[in-house]
Structure 1
Amino acid sequence: MPLPHDPGPHWGEVGIHGVHRQREWDAVATVELAVAGSEAWFVVLPDGSLVVEEGDADADRFRAALSVAPPFRAHAVRRNGATWAVAVRRIEAVELDDDTPGNEIEIAWDGSERTVRIDGAPTLAGVPGLERLAEARHRTYVVRAARLEGSTWEVAVSPL
């Protein structure tokens, strides 16, 4: 018995249609390590120090096995036995004043109006270190920052 007629669009061979997804990781590798646990999320700061964010595996062992220069964010997942998949994304880390408030900051400047959110709440306060960094790159911008440890922040600056 023949299959029912499919009236939908036919674009030919199976392939890629539409816009591709943006790359999430800069490097992905498999590593053979005898480490307990199942996964680890961690950040390696510019000075080489380690900030463990989540997971039950010894993240310090993965840092030594990676050839990516810091700073970077990484996620290691056990695949089979001692085989681990490790994904790495380079980040920008900056030092801000010790008295910088909050743990997450977003600043937007459209050329005439500035909006600032600290931990999701709007504020009139400014963060001069972040604003100088963004202004050096773009006339209008959005800058997002997340505290990594102490006065070290992960920063992303984008044109508006």
Structure 2
Amino acid sequence: MSLDPSRQWLAAGITGLARHREWDAVTTVAAGGAAGDEVELVALPGGRLLVEATTSEVDPALLAAALAGSIEPPYRALGVRRPELWVVGALALEVVELAADVRGDAVEVVRDETGARARIDGLPSLAVPPELERTGAARSNEYVVRAQRLDGRLFEVEVEAL
């Protein structure tokens, strides 16, 4: 072993640093399809499924059912068909329903010492959705909330403290 102080031992497994978890739940399921087929879906509270992309005829409900007990909706899942099985990974997400219809698919709300401001589809907006303000305020006094439309008034949200 070298005593060279310039060597860096920061790789996972050498220093004990854990890798970031890529999925909140992973499972396999036997279902039809061809190797390489993919399905991207969002499971909403209440059991509704939104298929965002697919290259397969497989029923997305089969993939969601395989995740039952491992993760509760809402979540975003990716299923990939391997030679004999589907491998399905899912990440939990936060969903907010906005009371008023927003004319755009992407909303960003920033609150800092100067107050709250919003951008809808990248353009400044005078209307700041109160649901997104409440979501951000529950985490921090100063925050950024990014919301992406899933369906109708349902938005997937991410919150970061400033």
Please report the TM-score for the alignment, with normalisation by the length of structure 1.
0.81
Which amino acid in the other structure matches residue 79 of structure 2? A
Match of 1:73 among 76, 94, 105: 76
Cα distance in 2 for residues equivalent to 1:42 and 1:13: 35
The aligned counterpart of 2:49 is: 50
Judged with a 3 Å threshold, the aligned counterparts in structure 2 of structure 1 residues 137 and 10 are, in CA distance, closer, same or farther, namely: closer
Gaps of 5+ in 1: 1-6
Larger radius of gyration: 1
Cα distance in 1 for residues equivalent to 2:9 and 2:146: 42
The aligned counterpart of 1:22 is: 20
Cα distance in 2 for residues equivalent to 1:34 and 1:72: 23
Cα distance in 2 for residues equivalent to 1:133 and 1:13: 36
Deviations 1:12-63 (A, max 9, x none): 797557x766333211222222246700000000111010000123322211
Q: Which moved more, 1:52-61 or 1:37-46?
A: 52-61
Q: Which moved more, 1:95-104 or 1:69-78?
A: 95-104
Judged with a 3 Å threshold, the aligned counterparts in structure 2 of structure 1 residues 73 and 101 are, in CA distance, closer, same or farther, namely: same
- Is the counterpart of residue 62 in structure 1 residue 60 in structure 2? no
What is the deviation of 1:87?
0.6
The aligned counterpart of 2:103 is: 101
Residues 93 and 152 of structure 1 are in contact (CA less than 8 Å); yes or no, is this contact kept in structure 2?
Answer: yes
Judged with a 3 Å threshold, the aligned counterparts in structure 2 of structure 1 residues 151 and 13 are, in CA distance, closer, same or farther, namely: closer
What SS does the aligned partner of 1:46 have?
coil
Which amino acid in the other structure matches residue 47 of structure 1? G
- Is the counterpart of residue 34 in structure 1 residue 29 in structure 2? no
What SS does the aligned partner of 2:21 have?
coil
Please report the TM-score for the alignment, with normalisation by the length of structure 2.
0.80
Residues 104 and 118 of structure 1 are in contact (CA less than 8 Å); yes or no, is this contact kept in structure 2?
Answer: yes
Cα distance in 2 for residues equivalent to 1:13 and 1:106: 35
Which amino acid in the other structure matches residue 110 of structure 2? A
Gaps of 5+ in 2: none
Which amino acid in the other structure matches residue 64 of structure 2? R
RMSD: 2.7
The aligned counterpart of 1:142 is: 144
Deviations 1:86-124 (A, max 9, x none): 110011112112422211111111132433221122223
**Identity rate, percent:** 44
Which amino acid in the other structure matches residue 85 of structure 1? V
Judged with a 3 Å threshold, the aligned counterparts in structure 2 of structure 1 residues 112 and 60 are, in CA distance, closer, same or farther, namely: same
The aligned counterpart of 2:114 is: 112
